[in-house]
Structure 1
């Protein structure tokens, strides 16, 4: 065994072999002696006798070197006991279980981290102090920012106020300028309206009408179509035409038959409330005396102020029975001229004329008579025109009527009374002898 060899070497006297092979052999021998365990099957080396001389020492070393290759061979393993095998398996299972437990513990710690350690009071106080410092710093920064924002707001308000003032001044200037321009435009519009009204009042002849008139002039003068008309002949014809027109207008002023005149049988059958003569005695001259007669509205007034019938207020009506049934053509309303009127505000302004046929008890009905009241025309009496104004009937296909209702809804300013000087109804009698017979 190795222990015996080491003891034998230690007890033998040391001899130095100067050869290098001996030293190497010694190193190899010591290595094998230290690393190899003793084996039961290796025969024991007989102990060396220390009393031997150097020859015995060399012989022992040689015997040891010869036996060395035998120790390097692996002896055949003997069968281990069963309890060692069971113990080895149990140890391996325990080690594997320990590894599994370790991994499970790591997974549990990873899934359920431990709560952070509680800070001590000193650290918590320091943390609170730092938080308080941060809050104070933020508060100061917020206050500074708020002050800056307020300054910016004041600056913006000042600039906006200045801009608003400038814009207001500019708009006011533009408004005044626009008002001036509008006034000028209104003035020009009024001038154009006056001019247009003048053109409308001027009765121009169309070319065909003038040619017809000129042919009539030539025929009246007895001239052929190819012969020039003498100027003296034209003057003579114009004089004759003017005289005929004078005679025509001298007949009741307009030269048209009035079917509502009192002298021919027309009469006022009903009217709105008359103006009370006792309450306004100063206006008695306007009414032609205290006993004002409503029939004055159907009589010639000859343009005299006060020869009218006054009605209460600024609106009213008058119903007139005509002398006989007619087909109406026009209505004429007369007021005193504004050149001689004392108060032109009493003239009626917005008017409406309606008509219908009213049968007598013993009268047979006619197919052309209009028994239902219908509006004949609407008009406005204009003070800027002549005092006698005629308005055509605008309703088409008007039947025979013998009743006329004159309504005025406003006048030219007076709220006390409205004066009616004269109302005339123009038209022509029906051509059917049957209808005209029973209407007369």
Structure 2
């Protein structure tokens, strides 16, 4: 402490010679104060460092919390989207279930109505029998002529009522179930048949109601759809034309009142008949779009593109039956050579006329080949050579040509085409034997 006092004395200014000397207690107190200040400064610096470290930790924790919150928000958005998708699927499933339930209910109602009609017919027969018996009894009932007349009246009444009931049942069943021909269909899509080319068609709807609806109000919708690009095949062509009819409006919509469709058969056949089915006029939205005058050509191998200028719209040249017989066909016109239709090398299978206004039970109209198909001439100017002198040729492709429809200028609806014949060669599409 004495040394500290001496050092403090030495620090006094030279002019202060008479200042009183500082004792060692005061010096000690001053030293303690200085030491306390130094320690306080050190503690302050250490506290500031700790505060800065804590601030950095808080910032790091805040950033981590913000990142975690962002992940949670993104995950929540994903979950919400998944919930929306599941909800939409549930709504679609509910709508499909409701549609199926409605269809089942309508079919059950139709069946109940048929049973009721049969019951009413039976009651009518019973009442008629009772009336005849009562009339015979009131007139004496002993004569053989009266008995015979009563029996004849009862039999006639039964036959009439049964015929009426049978016709009504046929009409109702035609609307409930698909018509059948009893013949194998070698153009069936599920068996390997396919549409490979066609004239321009209207594009199908791809969004909104149109993608899953029943294609109701077909006329208005078709007029709003743009035509398919040139050369493109309608994505649903085979399903619409070569499969059982599902509902009104589910057809292949050709642009205008005429056109053509090329079909690859499931396997090579010797053709014997062709069947076309349209939706019955009773349930059709616009029966004018049904095809009317049709021509059928056969090919061995893929058909060539139609020659330019052959639009197949010459109704007058398609009026003959050309070897076809069946409901709606017209006979008496001469054959039209395939070269005249721009299809050189084809087999002319014939012409026929579809009657769209026939009763519902005749919606499927089968046209049987009355003779072997005509072979196209190999050189210009030759007439078609009928295959009667040789074996009938096999084909694996056909072209359906629509010459005209029943009066609609905007489009032609094709519903269901069946091709019948005797199969040749191995199963599956290939070169005909």
TM-score normalized by structure 1?
0.37
Bigger fraction of residues in helix: 1
Higher RCO (CA 8 Å, separation ≥ 6 residues): 2
**Higher Cα Rg: structure 1 or 2?**
1
TM-score normalized by structure 2?
0.37
